[in-house]
Structures are given as structure tokens and as C-alpha cells.
Amino acid sequence: EDLEKELREVIEVIKKKDCEDYERLGNIALKVSKSFAIAGPLLSGIAAVGSSFVGNGSLAALVPLMAGSLASAVNAFEHGGQVGMVFEMYRNCGGFFTLLEETIRDTLEEKDIEKRENGEVFEMKVAMKLGRSVSELRRLASKSVSCGMEGMVVDEFASKLF
């Protein structure tokens, strides 16, 4: 029963802190990626159209120059910064934590004790998947119970994940 309570606490920490953070950061990365994907070709198009008016005055030469420069900067940030890959990384990590949560929940809700995985081995697997030792996992669960999932414990755990 203690092990079940401990793993349920781990689920709560993962759900309340990690999944929310990765979803939020993934959405930000997606918005940035969409903005760059629209801005790059738009600025390139403005530069191409503006270049046909270069001989008509000094301001007409400045618009394509600025639009072309901005287009190359946007494309450099988009591709060099690999914004799409950052989005995929956040989405992948969020999916990992959701899968881990479902795995723990399914194991704990198994009614037939003979089919249920050995608790200590399962606890070790969860700790290894999170990149932590079993003692750190236990310490997290005990602190989250004693503090009622307040910020310090959750932030400490999240900072140790990465």
C-alpha cells in the first residue's frame, strides 16, 4: 500500500508539473514556428515584388532591401534554431510523461495480484525512466505528501529531471 501511495504521488507530480509545462512550452514553440513559416515567404515575396520598383526612387530601393534582409534573418532563425524540432521535442516529452502516467495507473489498478508486476521492480523501472534513483523517487513522494504538492517540492523534482 505504501508503494501504491508513493507511485500515485509520483503520478500527481508528473501530471501537475511536467505535463503542463511541456504542453505550454510546446504551444509556444508551435506559435513561433507558425509565425516564422508565414513571415519568411511573405517577406521574400515583398522583396521580390519591391525589386521591380527599384528604379523609381530611393524609398523604392529601401523596401526590397529591408524585406529581403528580414526574410533571410527569419529563415535563419527558423532553420538554424530548428524551431520545428524544438516543438517536436516538447511534444515527445509530454507524450512520454503521459505514457508513464498511464503505465503507473494501469499497473496500480490491476485487480488480479498474480498478473500485477512486482512492486519493487516496477518502482525501479519508473525511477530509471525518470533518470533518478529509487531513493530520490521515494523522497519526492514523501515530500509531496508532506507539503501538499506546493511549489518547492514540485520545482525541485522538475529541476532534477533535467
Map out the domains of the chain as residue ranges: 1-150
Q: How far apart are CA 57 and CA 54, in angstroms?
A: 7
Q: Rounded distance, CA 119 to CA 144, Å? A: 20
Encoded amino acid at 43, one letter: L
Indicate the burial class of 67 (C-beta count within 10 angstroms; 0-12, 13-18, 19 or more).
buried
Q: Report the C-alpha gap between 14 and 22 in whole angstroms.
A: 11
* pLDDT tens per residue, range 127-157: 778 777 777 777 776 766 666 544 444 444 4
Predicted confidence at residue 45, as pLDDT, reads 92
Task: Specify the pLDDT at position 138.
Answer: 75
What pLDDT score does 131 carry? 76
* Statement: residue 27 has pLDDT above 90: no
d(CA 11, CA 87): 24
Q: What is the pLDDT of residues 85-108, one digit of tens each?
A: 888 888 888 888 888 888 888 877
CB contact at 8 A, 125 and 116: no
Please report the pLDDT score of residue 12 as a whole number.
77
State yes or no: pLDDT of 76 exceeds 60. Answer: yes
Q: For residue range 44-71, list pLDDT tens digits in order.
A: 999 898 888 777 666 778 888 899 999 9
How far is C-alpha 9 from the geometric centre of its chain's CA atoms? 21
Q: Find the Cα–Cα–Cα–Cα dihedral 109, 9, 149, 97, rounded to 10°.
A: -80
Contact 137, 126 (CB under 8 A): yes
Report the distance separating Cα 56 and Cα 86, nearest Å: 43
Distance from first CA to last CA of the chain, Å, rounded?
Answer: 29
Q: What is the pTM of this model?
A: 0.62
pLDDT, position 97? 81
pLDDT higher than threshold 80 for residue 120: no
Mean pLDDT of 14-22: 76
At 153 the pLDDT is 44
Q: Which pLDDT belongs to residue 143?
A: 66
